[in-house]
Amino acid sequence: MKKFVAWVLVLVIFAYGWYRFALRPVDSGSDARVPITIEQGMSTSAIAELLESSDIIRSSSAFRLYTRVHGVQNSLQAGKFIFEKGQSVPEVIDALQNGKADEISLTIPEGFTVKDIDALLVEHGLAEEGEAIDCANTCDFSSFEFLPPKEGLAKRGGQLEGYLYPDTYFVNPQEFVTKFFLERLLTTFRNTVLEEYADAIEASPYSLHQIVTMASLVEEETRKADERPMVAGILWKRFEGGVGLGVDATVRYILDKQSSALTTTDLDSSSPYNTRKFRGLPPGPIASPSVKSIEAALNPETSDYWYYLHGTDGQIRYAKTNDEHNENKYKYLR
C-alpha cells in the first residue's frame, strides 16, 4: 500500500510538473509574431490544436485543461489575433477572452506603389485618404541618406517610391503614425537591401537609384522569378545601347492606368516616365521591387535578345530582331 501511495505521489508530482511546464511560453526569448484567425463556432479543442500546430503553445492538452480548471472554455472569442511565441498559455487565453489583439498584421505586397500603400492604410482605418502620398512628398526623410532628391519625381510617390520594402508588418492601430510606418519600411529596405547586397551594389556600374528603378521595371514586366534576369539583361542592354526601353508599365504608372488598353494618346504622353517615347530610365522607380527583381537588376543575364513579350497564354517569348518580335506578336498576341 505504501508503495502504491508513493507511486501515486510520483505520478501526481510528474503530472503537475508537466502541466506547469506546458503552460510556459514556447520560446520566452522570442518576439516573433504569428497571426491566427479563430473562426466563429470553433470548439476549445479546435482552438487548442490550431495554437499548438502554429507553435503558439506547447500542448493542446494543457491548454484545454487550463480552460476547464479556470472555467473559461466558453469565453474564448472569435477573431483575428497576433500572438508571440514568448506568451504563456494564461496570456494567450487572456487575449482570446478580450476578443481582440493589440496589433494587426499589414502586408505590403511586392510591386505595390505608394498610392497602393495609401489605399491599404485607408482600408484598415489607419490613415486618411492621401495621407501616405502627401507624407511621401512633404515629410522629412533626410535621415535616409540613400533616398534620391525629390526633383523630377512623380508626385504620386515622391522620393519614397520603390524604397518602401514589401513585407508583413505588425502595427498597433491605437499608436499608428503614417510617417513612422513609412520610416519602418525604409529602415527595412536599408537593413535588407543595402546591407545584404552592399558588395554587389558597390561593384555595379550603376547607381543605387538606377538599380532600384530598373528593378521596379523588371518587377512590373515579369510574371515569374526565372524571367527576371533575362528581362533585366534585355533592358540594361537597351539602356546601354541608347535604345528606348519601351516599357508600357511606366506609361501605366504615370497615367495611373492599371489594366485597360493603352491608346495612341497615352503612348504619346510627354512625361519623362514614358519610356515608349523617351530613351533611358524613367526619373524613378514605379513600384516597390522584390528582392528577386533587385537581384536580377544586379545580376542580369546576358543574351542576344533585344525584345520580349508575354503571349495571351502567359508565356514569355524573346526575340533577337524587330522582325522576330513582330512575328511573336502575330503568333502569340492574337
Q: What is the pLDDT of residues 13-49, one digit of tens each?
A: 776 788 888 889 988 888 788 888 888 888 999 999 9
Q: What is the pLDDT of residue 100?
A: 64
Could you tell me what percentage of the chain is helix, strand and coil, using 3-state DSSP and rounding each to the nearest 5?
A: 50, 10, 45
Which is more confidently placed, 109 or 77?
Answer: 109
Name residue 13's amino acid. I
Long-range contacts of 321-329 (CB under 8 A, 24+ apart): none
Give the integer Cα–Cα distance in Å for 225 and 325.
Answer: 22
- Dump the DSSP string for 266-323: HHT---TT-TTTS-S--SS-SS---HHHHHHHHSPPP-S--EEEE-TTS-EEEESSHH
Q: What is the pLDDT of residue 214?
A: 98
The three-point CA angle 190-196-201 to 5° equals 85
Average pLDDT, the chain: 91
Instruction: Record the cell numbers describing residue 135, joined without a space.
Output: 507624407
Q: What is the pLDDT of residue 32?
A: 82
Which is more confidently placed, 31 or 69?
Answer: 69
Q: What is the pLDDT of residue 34?
A: 87
Q: What is the pLDDT of residue 3?
A: 62
Q: What is the pLDDT of residues 113-136, one digit of tens each?
A: 999 999 999 999 999 999 999 999
Q: What is the pLDDT of residue 149?
A: 95
High-pLDDT (> 70) share of the chain, %: 95
Mean pLDDT value across residues 234-256: 95
Give the integer Cα–Cα distance in Å for 255 and 89.
Answer: 52
Mean pLDDT value across residues 49-72: 92
Instruction: Tell me the Ramachandran region of residue 162: left when phi exceeds 0, alpha when psi lies from -120 to 50, beta otherwise.
Output: left
Q: What is the pLDDT of residue 101?
A: 66
Give the integer Cα–Cα distance in Å for 214 and 36.
Answer: 37
**pLDDT of 61 above 60:** yes
Give the integer Cα–Cα distance in Å for 137 and 181.
Answer: 15
High-pLDDT (> 90) share of the chain, %: 70
Q: What is the pLDDT of residue 41?
A: 83
Q: What is the pLDDT of residue 10?
A: 62
